[in-house]
Amino acid sequence: MGKKERFFYEITSLNPEVTGSCHLVTVHYPDARITNFAVDFGSYQEELYNELNAEKLPFECDKIQFVLITHNHADHMGRLPYLIKGGYKGKIFCTQETAQLMPFALKDSYKIEHENAQRDSRKPLYDETDLEETISRITPCKFGEVEYLDRNIKATFYMNGHLYGASMILLQISFPGEEDINLLFTGDYKPENQLFEVTDMPSWVYKLPMVVVTESTYGYMDTTEVIYHMEDDIEKAIKEGKTILISVFAQGRAQEVLYLLKSMQYFRRLSTKIPIWLDGRLAQEYTRLYRSSEMLLKFNKADFIPENFGYVNQENREAVLQSKEQQIILCTSGMLDHGPAKIYLESFVERRDVLIYIPGYTSPKTLGYRLQNPVNGFVTINGKKLVMRAQVETTKECSSHAKADEIIEFLKRFKHLILVLINHGQKEVKEKFAERVQKEVINAKRVEILGEHTFRISPYGYIKQMGSKIIFLKSNKKEEEDKKKTKIHKKEKNDKHNKKLPKFTKRVCYSYN
């Protein structure tokens, strides 16, 4: 093997489309050492891939040395307890802000998982001890400060407008006498945010020979195609005497929509007499946290709560549901599949005086998606076939993802883009977006799509596609030899009890050696 190939890494992604974000990286050093790490460890939210959440992890969890989390969304961190249960021994690195928020999301995922397990009469994927262990491994990092993960790998978290606490992660991997490997994970990316200022990465980062792993959720459209009509829609519906139900993600969207309503009140486009409610325990917890956030207070945007606002819980939900008064209700979940959303929808979809507003992405097959595409005028909720009478509107203006032109603008800032890896998008979107990046980002030497293949990449950008999806994390050879020695020793003692277990599940049992 030539010098250029002695130091390289392999990268693969577990997510086939948008949710279930997880990148696995294996670094091979010239001295035969190997380091495995993961960036994000999310759960699948598309119904199509739901069963993958319960599937045995296609690698040995104890071979992963560390995990980095870009932000606090379930599709980027929801499966962490499952990884811990599987034997992962390392730390979970994320920003200080994400570290503060993540325990809430993990506890919520735990609750949902246990409810689902009970409903499906199966064993939950992990228990409370795994949850507590996961929380105890969270290791907060400061934005912009270098974190040494081991003697060869350093990570830096940079601000990202996608969400409060969200980051892009720069990994710099070095070995004496070799070129550095620089790898940037955008996570879910947005250049700015309504609630806080986003500080840019320092200019030297843009000068590094770089491989960028980017998302592409909205890779099919440009910012110029976004039409801002949510305020008009709300104003119109209120004039028509309608009650408005707005689906929100617990963190980010809920607070941003409250901010929008507050600004409508300020400009007298919305009467302060209309009560505004927020339902969803997690959304309420995040809202309280945001209100006391140092980062948000620093930028003087923490006051996002409109007038005549209240929280809905079990005690007052029935009264809100039965109220004849016109009102605006924000409820979780964002795709309307979980949380209190279904309770409202069961009685609201058949009401002509209701506007259901979905201000964000909904995966195919989720209830949010089905409401936008009713079959012959019907929609099924909790097994009940209901006539779709309510008005359903959606907008892309609140999206917390960059559009194609914004990502391209971002990529163009890199002086020496060795490779762009496109991920986190629907299959066709990834393909189209990849073509566009190839055409428009002149500095990008090469563009590839992640999701179906593993790529072997050298610091110089030499890239090789490793056939189909390979998720075979190797461990340090020396360590392995030591293990073998102790194993042989044990084997002699206890041969009868040794059962040969299959190493990998069938679906992903591929090897390339």
Are 434 and 447 in contact, with CB atoms under 8 Å apart? yes
- Work out which of 73, 370, 396, 469 binds Zn ion, going by CB under 5 A: 73
The SS3 call for residue 29 is coil
Are 336 and 368 in contact, with CB atoms under 8 Å apart? yes
Rg (CA), the chain: 24
Q: Interface with Zn ion includes 79 (CB under 5 A)? A: no
Q: Binders of Zn ion among 370-409, rule CB under 5 A?
A: none
What is the full DSSP assignment across 428-446? HHHHHHHHHHHHH-TTBS-
Q: How many CB atoms lie within 10 A of CB 30?
A: 15
Query: Quick one: 97 or 188, whose CB is closer to Zn ion?
Result: 188
Nearest distance from C-beta of residue 402 to Zn ion, angstroms: 12
Nearest distance from C-beta of residue 74 to Zn ion, angstroms: 9
Nearest-5° Cα angle at 158, 202 to 426:
120
Q: Interface with Zn ion includes 40 (CB under 5 A)? A: no
Q: Which contacts qualify for 121-125: CB closer than 8 Å, 24 or more apart? A: 122/54, 125/53, 125/54, 125/81, 125/82, 125/85
Query: Quick one: 169 or 473, whose CB is closer to Zn ion?
Result: 169
Q: Can you tell me the distance from the alpha carbon of 194 to that of 400, in angstroms, rounded to the nearest whole number?
A: 10
Classify residue 353 as exposed, middle or buried by CB count within 10 Å of its CB (0-12, 13-18, 19+). Answer: middle
Nearest-5° Cα angle at 177, 174 to 183:
25
Query: Quick one: 73 or 301, whose CB is closer to Zn ion?
Result: 73
Segment interacting with Zn ion, rule: CB under 5 A, options 65-73, 191-199, 325-333, 461-469: 65-73
Nearest distance from C-beta of residue 444 to Zn ion, angstroms: 22
Segment interacting with Zn ion, rule: CB under 5 A, options 66-74, 104-112, 311-319, 355-363: 66-74
Query: Quick one: 217 or 458, whose CB is closer to Zn ion?
Result: 217
Nearest distance from C-beta of residue 22 to Zn ion, angstroms: 11
Nearest distance from C-beta of residue 42 to Zn ion, angstroms: 7
Binding to Zn ion by CB under 5 A, coded x per residue (else -) over 165-204, reads -----------------------x----------------
Q: Kindly determine how many residues on this chain lie close enough to bind Zn ion according to the rule CB under 5 A.
A: 3
The SS3 call for residue 296 is helix
Query: Quick one: 20 or 306, whose CB is closer to Zn ion?
Result: 20
Q: Can you tell me the distance from the alpha carbon of 210 to that of 110, in angstroms, rounded to the nearest whole number?
A: 37
Q: Interface with Zn ion includes 75 (CB under 5 A)? A: yes
- CB within 8 A of 399, min separation 6: which ones? 190, 218, 226, 360, 361
Nearest distance from C-beta of residue 87 to Zn ion, angstroms: 26
Binding residues (CB under 5 A) for Zn ion: these are 73, 75, 188
